[in-house]
Amino acid sequence: MDLGLAGRKALVTGGSQGIGRGCGLALAQEGCEVALVSRTLADLERAREEIVGRTGAKVRVSARDLSDPAQVDALAAEFPDIDILVNNAGSIPAGPIESLDDAAWREGWQLKVFGYIHMTRRFLAPMKARRSGVIINVIGNRLQNPNYIAGETGNMALANFTVTLGAETPDWNVRVVGLDPGPIATERLLSGLRKAAKAAWGDEERYVDLVGSMPFGRAGRVEEVAATVAFLASDLAGYITGCMVTVDGGVGNRSRAGHVSPKGASGPAR
């Protein structure tokens, strides 16, 4: 399906790996000019080479620490005419409340929670002035998991931020949408599952048992999340704003209904 995105300019944070890289690829395949942002230039260059090799699209990269507001401001100055912003950078530490000190909470939230908010504020202003643009916040499930309390709390804040802002932005012909990925087969998720299998059974290769007990007998695919992001960025989704879209195989509803996910299968997906 042609989503009508050819020629539009997209910026993806956390774009060097996992879901971010997948989003960059999907948008490039639809004809977008893509800017990838993360902290490490070498990783960005590898992602750029892959995407250019597969699509021939114009791909730029910018190594930035988005936990630093000055770096966000510099990024907005570097890319002043972005049509599609995908906020995807962030890693909030796991653990119960007793294991996380103030520094851990603040460091995790500085990149993801405050980073998303600052990125949105800086890129929303020119979108409002042009009366055109889409912001997609890739957030994550909110399952009230006590072993991911800092992330759950931050994700809930970002979801409310997204829904509240996205209800207002149609006044400027701008849309803001949130996306909740469930367990997605990224390097990060598979590493976590291997550690969980090692702790449970002394054999990290038994992580396949954890994957097999997920919905549909597998983790989600990066391509499934990325395709959803591309659709949401397009005019075909032009009446979708101020809401959360879930790509989790039903994990969230199963959890709320009392179906317990396998240990290690919940928490951050990226």
| Tens digit of each residue's pLDDT (9 = 90 or more) over 150-176 | 999 999 999 999 999 999 999 999 999
The pLDDT score that the predictor gives to residue 266 is: 43
Spans of all domains in the chain: 9-184+220-253
Are 36 and 48 in contact by the 8 Å Cβ rule? The answer is: yes
What is the pLDDT confidence band of residue 264, given thresholds at 50, 70 and 90? Answer: very low
* Structure confidence at residue 258 (pLDDT): 55
CA distance 235 to 266: 33
pLDDT in tens, 84-121: 999 999 889 889 999 999 999 999 999 999 999 999 99
pLDDT at 257: 57
State in Å, rounded, how far the first CA of the chain is from the last one: 27
Which homologous superfamily is 9-184+220-253 in? NAD(P)-binding Rossmann-like Domain (3.40.50.720)
Structure confidence at residue 44 (pLDDT):
98
Q: Which residues of 5-14 are buried (b: 16+ CB within 10 A; e: fewer)?
A: beebbbbbbb
Higher pLDDT among residues 269 and 234, named by residue: 234
Pairing relation of β-strands 59-63 and 9-13?
A: unpaired
Q: What is the mean pLDDT of the chain?
A: 91
